[in-house]
Amino acid sequence: MTKKINWLVLVTGLLTGAAAILLTAFGNPANMGFCIACFLRDIAGAVKLHSAPVVQYLRPEIIGLVLGSTIMAVATGEFKARAGSSPATRFILGGFVMIGALVFLGCPLRMVIRMGGGDLNAFVGLAGFFLGILIGIFFLKRGFSLKRSYEVAKSEAAALPGIMIALLVLLIAVPSIFIFSESGPGSKHAPLLISLAAALVIGGVAQKSRMCMVGGLRDAVMFRDFNLLSGFAVLFVTVLLGNIILGKFSGFSTYLQPIAHASQLWNLLGMVLVGWGSVLLGGCPLRQLILAGEGSGDSAVTVLGMIVGAAIAHNWGTAGSAASLTDGVYSAGGVGTHGKVAVIIGFAVLLIISVINIQRSKKEVK
């Protein structure tokens, strides 16, 4: 059993890395074959929850990941309607995970993809992510829990997959109701069918292999279990080799990396917020999409929280701005005051949630 699951995780890492390279080659932004945070942010923009003109597009990758998970879960009898594990708290956590990710400019998955693209800023992000995971583990070991989920009506399980199907139908039938960026990252995308097909495959294998960026480091630290981390490593190597083969790799540097900034303290702290929040949620943003696809109402609420968090990030200007070179003038990019305050507020909120949800040693014994 162990060997089989290891193999699946490795294949998932390999396929996800290959798909990321493929999607970038077909038009997705550089080092952004996949980015759950960025793509949910683009969807928030496409439906006018925010109006940042450069990050608005209805990313089919999100639809594909959720529905790929649903199809796989239904096919293997794992589609289960579950909810009730502190949904409002999960909504808030999802929002702050998104705010942290958009300060760094990427979810944990894009962090690894950026690392494979030679972006040294993402290695700083990894250090922050790891630190955040350690903080989360500190509270897990002291009894943190968002309590149990329970069996609920099938309609709860169908909510997020249903929303995704509706978005797909609308995207094909009446795309004019959405806003699509004409410049910037939102304007760069692979053709719809390629994005959708690649994401359906990744959604399916990620459901089966349980691939999770936060789970990899968490399980390695807590249980000396390197199963999920191995997928993380294969993903990095695949993306790195893919970039080298396609001639897109030009060494490791912090300078002028695509859709990234070199404000290292905030790269670090943004990802501390992501790591900590994701441990409390039980999985990274990718994993939340996959769990929502297999019927978790709690993860569906988390995804909605992330979408709202993305809208807030752009409406209130908390997202980081990327480094740029305009007319020979280099800007390192970075994070404004609003972003810094939002991250600090995020730490305070996570601390309160972490402490309040420590369950006193009530025996879980029947």
Partner 1 sequence: MLDARGLSCPMPVVMVQKAVKSGSPDTLEVLLDAECSVENVTRYARNQGYTVTAEKDGEDTKLTLKK
Q: Which residues bind partner 1 (CB under 8 A)?
A: 1-2, 5, 78, 80, 82, 84-85, 140-141, 145-151, 210, 212, 215, 218-219, 222-225, 227, 281-283, 298, 364-366
Give whichever of 142 and 338 is closer to partner 1, judged by the CB atom: 142
Centroid of chain to Cα 204: 16
Of the two residues 141 and 251, which places its CB atom closer to partner 1 in the complex? 141
Q: Are 309 and 163 in contact (CB under 8 A)?
A: no
Neighbours of 235 (CB within 10 A): 29
In angstroms, the CA 198 to CA 65 distance is 9
Q: How many residues does the chain have?
A: 366
Closest to partner 1 by CB, 186 vs 295, is: 295
Nearest to 19 by CA among 211, 159, 165: 211
Query: Cβ closer to partner 1: 193 or 223?
Result: 223
Minimal CA–CA distance to 120: which of 248, 319, 268, 220?
Answer: 268
Whole-angstrom distance, CA of residue 112 vs CA of residue 342:
24
Report the alpha-carbon distance of residue 207 to residue 250 in Å, rounded.
34
Choose between 155 and 359: whose C-beta lies nearer to partner 1: 359
CA angle, 107 as apex, 102 and 112 as ends, to 5°? 130
User: Cβ 11 to partner 1, closest distance in Å?
Assistant: 16
CB 235 within 8 A of CB 90: no
d(CA 67, CA 198): 12
Residue closer to partner 1 by CB (options 2, 326) is 2
